[in-house]
Amino acid sequence: MERMEHICFTLIASAGCARSLYIEAIRQAKDQEFEKAYLLMDEGEKLFVEGHAAHAGLIQQEANGQNSVLSLLLLHAEDQLMSAETFGILAYELIEIHKKIAEKR
């Protein structure tokens, strides 16, 4: 159980940091700081991948017959991971929109 909690907190921390970086990337793009925005996106993606890898490990364990205990903490961790993924997708699109607007000015 302690290992599961550690994995969940790793997921939550990675996803939360990634989401924060994606939001900051949007803000940088809004200020026409596109290079900074893309660097923040890259940094966020690395953190997201860390969280995703931890989650994939849980799925692999279950596929190998090691039953996972479903808990509110795990559900929260998965929710945070999905939220970060959505923010990443939307952040990239918003950066591109800000970039196109800036090019037309």
Q: Which member of 6, 52, 55, 76 is catalytic? A: 76
Contact in structure between 88 and 45 (CB atoms under 8 Å)? yes
What are 59-83's pLDDT values in tens digits? Answer: 898 889 887 778 899 999 999 999 9
DSSP letter, residue 71: -
**Where does the pLDDT of residue 53 fall: very low under 50, low under 70, confident under 90, or very high at 90 and above?**
very high
User: Is the pLDDT assigned to residue 2 strictly greater than 80?
Assistant: no
Token pair recorded at residue 70: 């479903």
Q: Is 76 a catalytic residue?
A: yes
pTM of this structure = 0.90
The mean pLDDT of the chain is 94
Q: Which CATH number, 2.130.10.10, 1.10.3720.10, 2.60.210.10, 1.20.58.80, labels domain 2-104?
A: 1.20.58.80
